[in-house]
């Protein structure tokens, strides 16, 4: 019986993730276009792209490693699906959440980047390799600020005994109480770590200022995915669409209080509105920023971002000073 409900939760969260990701990806492109005084695509554009790719010819470059080349996109997709299930849609006691799940989330999100690295290297293309190299640099730079800003809320939860690494506890802690008249969200209590986390998720989703460095079309065609085409590229496209939901949901659960104290359908809606706000912020960031060089990526993330996150980690360890 439990298995059935887990399965039901899994499929519904995949559906939610895909639907929300689709709309937010469309919004991302449309809003960017409006900001740049263009018309922009119609609402069905993301799914139309995927369907078009699905109808294309399937090919493997002759020198590519065939097995890895074909399997990599599926692994990436399934990792994102599992992530969409583990991260609760703003609901406390969500069926997919699980004690000590923050580190699993961190690792699965790294795995989704590793898939790109391995796919790029397996495609036997120079551009793929350069893209893979840049993706690796990105993993290295983002990992440390990301783990610290993930840990800040869990350290802040530490009452008398031990910290908790469960998203569930973090949501529950935020939906009760208040902080100087404001809601008891961690973004108000630990704003610096929230900024670091926002910077990290833009990179994880793959939008500017730093996220598109591995796929810089002006320099290296399409980075790791240069050789990909047809259905396999379609799978990668779906993964990208779903990433829009997964990482903004993670931010909302950690720092924006999930879905608040509303009853069932309302809390998910409130959660999705918050996610949408994150998407708006990300879109604006993407539009107003120029491309950066690859050397800027570790420089910014391992200095500014890391310091922001560390300051709040120290504050959290000292009990919210």
Partner 1 sequence: MIDPAYLVIALVVAAFISLLSRVNRRIGDIIGTISVLFVLCSVIANMISPFTGRSLLDEIGFHFVVNGYTSFLAFVVALIGLMVILFSISYIEKNVSRYYFFTLITIAGLMGMSYSWNLIWLYILAEICTICSAPLIAHYMDSKSIEGAIKYLIIQIFATAFILAGIGIIYLQISHSGYSGISSLDIDFLASSRAISGTLGELGIILIFIGFAAKFPLFPIHIWLPDASTVAPATISSLLHTMMIKIAGIPAFFILFELTYVFRNPVLLWLIFCVLGVITMFVCVTLAFAQKDLKRLLAYHSVSQVGYVVVGLGIGGLGMAYFYQTGDYLWLGVASGGMVAGLFHLINHTIFKSLLFFGAGAIEYKTHTKDISKMDSLLRAMPLTGIAMLVGSLSIAGVPLFNGFNSKWMIYNSCIAAGMPIVAAIAVLACALTLASFLKLICSAFLGGSKQEKIGDPPIPMQIPLIILSILCIIFGLSPQIAVKYLLYPATLALIPKAVLPKIDPYSSLLRMFGGVWDVYWMVTLIVIGLFIGYLIYRASPKISVTITDEKLAPFTGGALKQPYLRIEETNVHPFAFEYPFRSFLDILKRVHTGVVNLYVSWIAAFVIFLIVAVLAGWI
Between residue 144 and residue 183, which ones bind partner 1 under the rule CB under 8 A?
144, 147-148, 151, 154-155, 158, 161-163, 165
Distance CA 286, CA 269 (A): 25
Among 40, 298, 304, 311, binds partner 1 (CB under 8 A): 298
Which of 9, 1, 187 minimizes the C-alpha distance to 93?
9
Distance CA 285, CA 212 (A): 13
**Could you tell me which stretch among 71-79, 168-176, 177-185, 198-206 binds partner 1 (CB under 8 A)?**
71-79
Among 66, 277, 284, 289, binds partner 1 (CB under 8 A): 66
Query: Interface with partner 1 includes 143 (CB under 8 A)?
Result: yes
Distance CA 273, CA 150 (A): 22
| 253 alpha-carbon distance from chain centroid | 12
Q: Which is nearer to partner 1, 130 or 199 (CB)?
A: 130
Minimum CB–partner distance for residue 272 and partner 1 (Å): 22
Among 8, 34, 48, 140, binds partner 1 (CB under 8 A): 140
Minimum CB–partner distance for residue 73 and partner 1 (Å): 7
CB-based contact 130:220 (threshold 8 Å): yes
Query: Interface with partner 1 includes 234 (CB under 8 A)?
Result: yes
Query: Interface with partner 1 includes 279 (CB under 8 A)?
Result: no
Map residues 188-217 to x or -, x wherever contact with partner 1 holds by CB under 8 A.
------------------------------
Between residue 239 and residue 278, which ones bind partner 1 under the rule CB under 8 A?
none
Distance CA 312, CA 316 (A): 6
Distance CA 224, CA 206 (A): 13
Query: Interface with partner 1 includes 311 (CB under 8 A)?
Result: no
CB-based contact 179:186 (threshold 8 Å): no
Rounded to a whole number, what is the distance in angstroms from the first to the last CA of the chain?
A: 46
Between residue 5 and residue 64, which ones bind partner 1 under the rule CB under 8 A?
6-7, 10, 14, 54-64
CB-based contact 315:190 (threshold 8 Å): yes
CB-based contact 315:321 (threshold 8 Å): yes
Minimum CB–partner distance for residue 60 and partner 1 (Å): 5
Query: Interface with partner 1 includes 81 (CB under 8 A)?
Result: yes
Q: Which are the contacts of 38, defined by CB distance < 8 A and separation ≥ 6?
A: none
Between residue 94 and residue 133, which ones bind partner 1 under the rule CB under 8 A?
98-100, 103-104, 106-108, 110-111, 114, 117-118, 120-122, 124-127, 129-130, 132-133
Minimum CB–partner distance for residue 41 and partner 1 (Å): 22
Which of 272, 256, 283, 287 minimizes the C-alpha distance to 184?
256
């Amino acid at each position: 019986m439990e298995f059935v409900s887990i399965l039901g939760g899994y499929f519904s969260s995949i559906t939610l993730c895909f639907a929300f990701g689709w709309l937010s990806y469309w919004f991302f492109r449309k809003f960017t276009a409006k900001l740049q005084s263009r018309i922009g695509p119609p609402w069905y554009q993301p799914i139309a792209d995927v369907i078009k790719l699905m109808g294309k010819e399937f090919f493997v470059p002759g020198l590519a490693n065939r097995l890895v080349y074909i399997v990599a996109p599926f692994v990436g997709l399934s990792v994102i699906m599992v992530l969409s299930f583990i991260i609760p849609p703003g609901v406390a006691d969500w069926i997919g959440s699980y004690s000590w799940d923050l580190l699993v989330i961190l690792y699965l999100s790294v795995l989704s980047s590793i898939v790109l690295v391995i796919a790029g290297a397996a495609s036997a293309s120079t551009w793929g390799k350069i893209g893979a190299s840049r993706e690796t640099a990105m993993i290295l730079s983002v990992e440390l600020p990301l783990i610290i800003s993930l840990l800040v809320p869990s350290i802040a939860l530490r009452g008398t005994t031990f910290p908790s690494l469960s998203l569930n506890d973090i949501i529950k802690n935020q939906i009760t109480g208040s902080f100087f008249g404001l809601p008891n969200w961690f973004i108000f209590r630990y704003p610096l770590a929230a900024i670091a986390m926002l910077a990290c998720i833009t990179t994880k989703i793959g939008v500017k200022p730093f996220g598109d460095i591995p796929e810089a079309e002006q320099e290296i065609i399409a980075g790791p995915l240069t050789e990909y085409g047809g259905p396999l590229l379609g799978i990668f496209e779906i993964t990208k669409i779903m990433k829009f939901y997964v990482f903004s949901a993670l931010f909302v659960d950690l720092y924006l209080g999930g879905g608040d104290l509303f009853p069932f359908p309302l809390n998910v809606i409130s959660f999705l509105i918050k996610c949408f706000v994150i998407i708006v912020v990300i879109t604006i960031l993407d539009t107003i920023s120029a491309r950066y060089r690859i050397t800027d990526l570790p420089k910014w993330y391992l200095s500014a971002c890391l310091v922001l996150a560390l300051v709040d980690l120290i504050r959290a360890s000292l009990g919210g000073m």
